[in-house]
Structure 1
Amino acid sequence: MMFSARTKRSKARLITTSLVGVVFSFSSLSALAAFKQPGKIIAGSDMTFYPYEYMKNNKPAGFDIEYLDGLAKIMGRKASNIDTRWANLIPGLRGDRFDLINSSMYITAPRLKVIDMIPYSKSGESILSIKGASYQPKTMQDFCGHTIGSMAGTAWLKQVQNVSKSYCVKKGLKPIKVRMYPTDPQATQAMLAHAVDAQITDSAVAAGVVQRMGSRITISSDKLLDPVLHGFGVKKGNEQVRKALIAAIKKYRKSSEYKALLKKYNMPALTEADIKALMPKS
């Protein structure tokens, strides 16, 4: 009888231990599953935004692409970028299509409400106009009464709308008309076709356009408009990806590879002071 009772207790302990092991195994698998594929980082990128992300010889290229490659090496992974139109990036992330957004996305308060964003570089906007044209706007206030081209879904569209209402209309001037296009190059082509009077875009993108098309296009703004942070987008609750990125960025920013990348693309280094000053407060 005693032997039988001890045997039953031993079996009970064995079953309990086995169940704990099973639960632990499932928990471990769940944590690993935070990245979509073992050994990889799957990123959504709009490959129409030179010099950040674009296609070269049928392969992803650009500052953001190389930056993520550097982070992936630190994490022991390989980065894979999926070409995705801008308006579909956040829905794609929230729908688990990829691990993160890698597309020079501005960090804004509205975006922080729906996704987590980890800062990795800084930028701002510039204004493009046709070289030699009489209209050479330097600020958004110069947009009053004109039609401006932009890629759809960008953060600066709200700023343009605010200027139109709070400045142009308030002063009795004509409002700003905005025409939106799926990609930035399409907005540039619209300007060259005189469908819009000027174009607003990211400052590094504007510099890249002038580098390639300097005989036809110029940057008319004489200073950086509204400095902002770029951030990798991560689905809320995906702590493994978020923490892995933060740790990798911290290491990468100390490397010679990072310094060489900044020099290659003529990008300013991101500092803690920049993050403190530019990170949205709410």
Structure 2
Amino acid sequence: MTLYARVKRSTIRSVVTGVVGASISFASCNALADFKEPGKIIAGSDMTFYPYEYMKDNTPKGFDIEFLAGLGKVIGRQTVDVDTRWANLIPGLRGGRFDIINSSMYITADRLKVIDMIPYLKSGDAILSIKGAAYQPKVPEDFCGHKVGSMAGTAWLKPLKKLSKDYCEAKGLKPISISEYPTDPQATQAMLSHAVEVQITDAAVARGIVEKTGHRVVISSDTLIYPVLNGWGVKKGNEEVRQALIKGLKAFSKTPEYAALLKKYHFKAPTAEDIAQLMPKQP
């Protein structure tokens, strides 16, 4: 690059930076963003997690899919959804398979060590049990000595395993028997076939499972378990993509479409207090 080109490029960047908050266009933001393809956001999602992301008639559906599409429209980018199993999402992002992870991923300190994350939703977990069964646990402390099913690689597994050791075994109770499955529906099927007694999953997913199983299962927990933030995953160091999404989220959150989407799925956006309280400290 010639000296003239360097100076010109530096000048352009200075001008763009100077007008942020006044009249910067999303087209300018897109021009600077290090996305894989022009005019697109390529997102990895595990399409087995109703109502966040799932397949219907061979088409991606769900809150996260619609949410990202709305944000993409605001910043002038088409969203491309790549169905990817949960265990492969972070490796796929880090390997450059897609621009972001859009899969109702909980923000944890461990994940922040390897990827950047942008919060967009507050969530938490719930306990599912078979309707009419004698065992109806309310809180994870009730799991001691029982068989619990879960999707593998989820954020709630770490505190559950710690609880088993530090609470159950420390009190002379039997440990929690945790069975992990590649997808959430497989964990549900394990419960329905009595391979496990209960299932722990995201609270919104739990509500969907109750509906999809014709109320053969119920939510036995009374309160939100392990409150947490959901976030988009961005490759470490890809600051331009991260900033583009942050600006897009800010703009999209002011639209009627955003409010209608939250109402449709009975979700709530995280408050500033939620983010301050639940966002893990940067490693």
SS at match of 2:171: coil
TM-score, normalising length from structure 1?
Answer: 0.89
Structure 2 CA distance for aligned equivalents of residues 22 and 277 of structure 1: 43
Structure 2 CA distance for aligned equivalents of residues 233 and 121 of structure 1: 13
1:223 aligns with 2:258: no
In the TM superposition, 1:1-282 aligns within 5 A as 20=6, 34-282=34-282
CA RMSD of aligned residues (A): 2.0
Instruction: Tell me if structure 1 keeps the 8 A contact 2:122–2:227.
Output: yes
* 1:185-231 Cα shifts (integer Å, max 9, x gaps): 00000000000110000000000111222431000101110110000
Could you tell me the percent identity over the aligned residues? Answer: 67
Structure 1 CA distance for aligned equivalents of residues 5 and 199 of structure 2: 62
Aligned pair count?
264
Which stretches in structure 2 are left out of the alignment for 5+ residues? Answer: 14-27
SS at match of 2:200: strand
SS at match of 1:88: helix
SS at match of 1:135: coil
Structure 1 CA distance for aligned equivalents of residues 9 and 118 of structure 2: 32
- Deviation for aligned residue 1:16: 5.2
TM-score, normalising length from structure 2?
Answer: 0.89
Structure 2 CA distance for aligned equivalents of residues 45 and 98 of structure 1: 10
* 1:124-153 Cα shifts (integer Å, max 9, x gaps): 000001000111111111110111100000
Structure 2 CA distance for aligned equivalents of residues 16 and 179 of structure 1: 60
SS at match of 2:81: strand
SS at match of 2:175: coil
Over 3 Å counting, the alpha-carbon distance change for 1:186 and 1:246 in structure 2 is same
Which stretches in structure 1 are left out of the alignment for 5+ residues? Answer: 1-14
Letter of the 2:204 counterpart? A
Over 3 Å counting, the alpha-carbon distance change for 1:161 and 1:78 in structure 2 is same
- Deviation for aligned residue 1:32: 5.2
Letter of the 1:155 counterpart? A
Structure 2 CA distance for aligned equivalents of residues 217 and 160 of structure 1: 22
- Deviation for aligned residue 1:272: 1.4
SS at match of 1:127: strand
Over 3 Å counting, the alpha-carbon distance change for 1:33 and 1:149 in structure 2 is same
SS at match of 1:170: helix
- Deviation for aligned residue 1:269: 2.5
Structure 1 CA distance for aligned equivalents of residues 5 and 93 of structure 2: 34
SS at match of 2:125: strand
Letter of the 1:130 counterpart? I
Instruction: Tell me if structure 1 keeps the 8 A contact 2:46–2:54.
Output: yes
SS at match of 2:218: strand
Q: Which has the larger radius of gyration?
A: 1
Structure 1 CA distance for aligned equivalents of residues 63 and 272 of structure 2: 20
After TM superposition, the runs of 4+ consecutive aligned structure 1 residues lying more than 6 A away are 21-24
Letter of the 1:267 counterpart? F
